[in-house]
Amino acid sequence: MSIEAKIAAGSKAVEFIKSGMIVGLGSGSTAECFIQALIESGLNIQAVSSSRTSTELAKRGGIEVVDINSVPRIDITVDGADEIDPLKRMIKGGGGAHVREKILASSSDEMIVIVDNTKLVPSVGTKKLPVEVMFYGSPATRMKIEELGYQGKWRQNPDGTLLISENGNLIYDMHFTSPPKAPEHLHEALINIPGVIDTGFFFNMAGRVIVGYPDGRTEIRR
């Protein structure tokens, strides 16, 4: 993956933002390229953010970040993805922010997805699926997840301690040996387990998809 591809996708997304809009900020390195380009555009917008890191970057650049609970609706959310397939099904949560990102995306008139070309896959589920799990009862919840036939591990911090999401929960990274045939069914099965907050699957949420390439080209998929 190349930073040029991420910058290209992030900068292109700014063309769809207009002054006066309420803009949802995703998380991750590609979303940060968008936030940087948004700062440089000088557009007068209000933002709602999916993570502490995105909030801090936006605020440092002079963007007004408002509380999600103070806005009824978001015009456009711009966010990255870990995987996206031709049906625009995605896996997100590499940065552990997928629960908030999904709330922003589902509250937006449009979610614009920005990815570098390495994120394009034939079918979602090539590596791992982040699943946010409540700490309370987490060993039992994990057992029920693994009874579906998958293995995985709790996400850790670099020092080996358990990573706690900004929502105060654990992230279980479920591993795939091959992409699931029916990711929608797997998502349903997972969210029906008590203690599972949400999965990193995003279905029927992506609007325009901006793909960035290392040579600075972009392609928009609708």
Give the interface with ligand 5RP as residue ranges (CB under 6 A). Answer: 26-31, 79-82, 92-98, 101
CA distance linking residue 136 with residue 172, whole number of Å: 14
CA distance linking residue 97 with residue 111, whole number of Å: 16
Which lies closer to ligand 5RP via its Cβ, residue 147 or residue 219? Answer: 219
Which lies closer to ligand 5RP via its Cβ, residue 44 or residue 118? Answer: 118
- Secondary structure (DSSP) of 36-84: HHHHHHT---EEEESSHHHHHHHHHTT-EE--GGG-S-EEEEEE--SEE
Q: Report in angstroms how near the CB of residue 94 gets to ligand 5RP at its nearest.
A: 3
Q: Report in angstroms how near the CB of residue 21 gets to ligand 5RP at its nearest.
A: 20
Note the Cα 171 to chain centre separation in Å: 14
CA distance linking residue 214 with residue 2, whole number of Å: 6
CA distance linking residue 219 with residue 222, whole number of Å: 10
Helix (H, G, I), strand (E, B) or coil at 48: strand
Q: Report in angstroms how near the CB of residue 202 gets to ligand 5RP at its nearest.
A: 9
Q: Report in angstroms how near the CB of residue 147 gets to ligand 5RP at its nearest.
A: 26
Residue 101 annotated to the active site? yes
Strand partners, 189: none
CA distance linking residue 33 with residue 114, whole number of Å: 10
Which lies closer to ligand 5RP via its Cβ, residue 75 or residue 132? Answer: 132
> Which residue among the candidates 32, 83, 101, 132 is catalytic per the annotation?
101
Catalytic residues: 101
